Structure 1
Amino acid sequence: MESMRGFFILGLAVCTFLLYQAWQKDYGPQPSQQESVAEQGDVAVASNNTAASSDNLITVETDLVSYRIEPNGGDIVYAELKQYNVELDKADNKVVLFDYRDRMYQAKSALLGQGAPDNQLPRASYSTEKESYTLADGEDSLTVPLSWTNSAGVTFKKSFTFTRGQYLINMVYSIDNQSANDRTYNFVAELARDQKPTGLEEKSSFGMKPFMGVAYSPEEQQYEKVDFEELEEEPIKTSRQGGWVGFLQHYFIAAWIPPQDQQINITSSVKPNKDTTIRFVQPTVSVPAGQAKTINADLYVGPKDLEQLEAAAPGLDKSLDLSWVWWIGLPLYKLMQFFHSFLANWGLAIILVTIVIKTLLYPLSAAQYRSMANMRKLQPKMQRLKERYGDDKQRMQQEMMKMYKEEGANPFGGCLPMLLQFPIFIALYYVLFEAVELRHAPFFGWIQDLSVADPYFVLPLLMGGSMWLMQRLQPKSPTMDQMQQKIMSYLPVVFTVFMLFFPAGLVLYWLCNNLISVAQQQYVTKKVENAPDKPKKAIKKK
């Protein structure tokens, strides 16, 4: 296989991938309006039949998130991320994850057992010292305590602790059993939401449909995602030690995390109106009369911040879904983060990552370019062979292989480096699509968001020009028929059309990759052309 055919295979592979992604992109069913009620499971979370009212909600302000807590049951029903706009230039419209207004997405937690606050409807109405809490300047954390005492004298305190600079919330139930009898309780943590689109998918890249659905850690695994459709057909029912359960959407995640040394039961359910729930139940806790015990769990609600996800729970970082190329994508992502730490520009970080990749692949690329240069030097001889044996393809191939052997040329030398670029391209495709840091990240000038397409198509057109230049430097194969040559000539145009709709960050990588390739190829080609001719290899006679 000659270099031109390797180039064709690479282009065909990438085009096939892009076409597959485009085919996969669809818009799921629009769910109907739902009540703000949690689905009952093996151990149900009893919920109010009416939606939360903004009049009696407890407000919590941290440096990163605005929360609202419903006193009836003590659920977090609202979470607005202060550092993330829905649209680039609209700072007054922030990304809202949990919501109770025109949709339902909430983090519910409950205690079940005799006299427990969530055994009956309406659920217990917790009292609190204040209606509003704010993480003050200079404070590292903020605790919001809620309290309720039943008629038997058992006091339940439900506390949420918010930490500066973190999206992880610690939730603790303190049970003080001053009744005359021993008590047992089960803690249930669940996330309940409708299946409505978030409104953030509309700005997504051509060819890639953002995943929205359930994610959890099955037994002996750290990460598995299930879309809503699959969940209706086959609900989750499993148990494991530790782990986590959550909902994923583009760039953001909410997840309940139990203590990692506890055995939990994980279940899911989908109501007829499409409201969906994922939950876990912790082991039964016994609280003898006159004694107190605590139950705790963590809740993560925020962006897919790799560092915070890694610290929150084993496997939660896998929610930054880099598909089958994660083993390439994760190092590239961390390398980009490293460059950004001192460059403060994600576009420049992408350029430096490209330079690193091209440097690491240079030994292979140099072999490819030497092969191309040697093939170019053989063009006159190849043309003569074509004129002599053009009508006899089998003889033509035999004579060409004989010539390659005599001249010490390797027609296969150009394929491997090109094919190695394919998984790197796909890895960066996923990194740039999944990395929340690239969302609304500017480069310079007219490119103010590297996660969406170049609004004026400048980068795609430059990329197409660089691809055309690379193609012009490739040696032409005399064995290619006119149809193959015509297809090859259209590849830069096809790629340019695809890249018109792809994230500017990805196109920037591909443009830089091509320009560095052209420079490297010119350097190696000149060295080969200026080198003295090697003596022909003698063919041993039998």
Structure 2
Amino acid sequence: MNPLYPIEWAVAWLMVKFHALLSVFMEPDSGVTWVFSIVGLTVVVRTLIIPLFVRQIRASRSMQMVSPELQAVQKKYKGKTDQESRQKMAEETMAIYKEAGASPFSSCLPVLLQMPIFFGLFRVLFYKLPEAADGAPFGPLSTELARSARSSTILGDVTIANSFLKPGDGGTVTMVLAGIIIACMCAVTFFTQKSLTMKNMPKASLEGPMASTQKMMLYMLPFIYVITGPGMPIGVLIYWLTTNVWTFGQQAIVIRATPTPGSDAEKERQARINAKREKKGLEPLDFTPPKKISAEPEPEAPIRVQPTKGKGGKKLTDEEKLERARALRAKAAEERRRAQEAAGEAPAPSPGSNPLNKGAKKKRKK
């Protein structure tokens, strides 16, 4: 039994339903009507997997954020090939993933989920449509509808069942149209990866395995389209292009609304917020995280006596070394007090004002 049969049946059912809906105000036997039926099918599929897409974005963001930590682990065990080191490296890597809630496989879920639908549509257009047109209807795809889809043209004599390698009656026009669609698929995918995904990565994540994978995908996906696209029917290429455009738009919206902290996309969002505030006559917001100043006085560091020399190159005595160390410590305490006053906090009592210190000084003088 064909494992894709339920998916093929569902794909054919959706195409037929969208065709019936569009036929109310469009020509039923027009190739454009069947093209929009495939676009409608794509919209339904992508809408159903929106939760998975959101999960993919979150997983990708988490992977980007932990990239510096993963690089540190790899540097830690660089050159160590023994079994114990490899095991520890794997354990530390998995601990980082678990703590950040990241998974290297979550980003593949939407693609993996669409693959059966993609192959189902391919089989419907490549096999079921000609069979149904020849008198063997397939589920909701009747012989009459199949003949309409098979004979209705998009441009010249091009139908949704033609392909670059099997142009049919369309000939050169089919090949040119298929080439244009494949080129658009490559351009949209490249622009999505380059201008959106890379822009949403923090600078610390632009190096290392995660960035290398992203850069590889920039060229691998267009290459896959060029290799596999010519054998695909025009209808499948339209589905592929529509889902790529959907991914671009959906990803642009998500990145614009919730960019990754520390990325260029976040800086652009902050600039847009301040531009809107400026138009309203409001002061711009400072997105720089504030530095915390502790209200409690820092503990005094123990006096460290180091071998130093005076101005003339003469060695200092122990008493002179102690006096110099006390002076440096008093200067540091004064600087802390001024910083606290500038921050609007109550200054901590200086070491010189402590009665115990005064008593200690008197004892030393005696």
Pick the structure with greater CA Rg: 2
The structure that is strand-richer by fraction is 1
TM-score when normalising by structure 1:
0.34
